[in-house]
Amino acid sequence: MSETNSGKTTAIIAYLTIVGCLIAITMNMEPKNTFARFHIRQAFGIHLVFHALAIVMTFTEVVYMSLPLYLFYLVLWGYGFLQALNGKTKPLPVLGEHFQKWFTFIP
């Protein structure tokens, strides 16, 4: 339980923006916290997917999909943020397990 409490601030910062996620990565360098690492990977995945889809939509000129993209992003972001606030490590629906496997480079 103490590891969850000590990593909670870093985990919350990771969800704020993509820059917050990068700050959280540097905050978790030493000492390493598994709770913070879990949420940093989840938040990094959320931000990365959102920005990648936004870039693809910009170049394909699919403007009508922007509202569903923002709603998808907000739902995933809210779910992950609430998990971090409550001290839980439940992965995001659909992509959460993949984020943990893909982003093993995050310490």
pLDDT, tens digit, 9 for 90 and up, residues 41-69: 999 999 999 999 888 888 887 777 788 88
**Three-state DSSP class for residue 78:** helix
Contact indicator for 34, 3 with CB cutoff of 8 Å: yes
What type of residue sits at position 70?
Answer: Y
Amino acid letter, 66: S
SS (H, E, C) 39-51: HHHHHHHHHHHHH
Distance CA 28, CA 104 (A): 14
**What Rg value do the Cα atoms of the chain yield, rounded?**
14
Q: What is the mean pLDDT of residues 16-41?
A: 91
Q: What is the pTM of this model?
A: 0.88
Residue 1 confidence class, pLDDT cut points 50, 70, 90: low
Single-letter amino acid, residue 90: K
pLDDT tens for 72-103 read 899 999 999 999 999 999 998 888 899 989 99
Of 2-11, 15-24, 44-53, where does mean pLDDT reach its minimum? 2-11
**Cα–Cα distance between 16 and 67 in angstroms, integer?**
20
pLDDT of residue 95: 87
First vs last C-alpha separation in the chain = 20
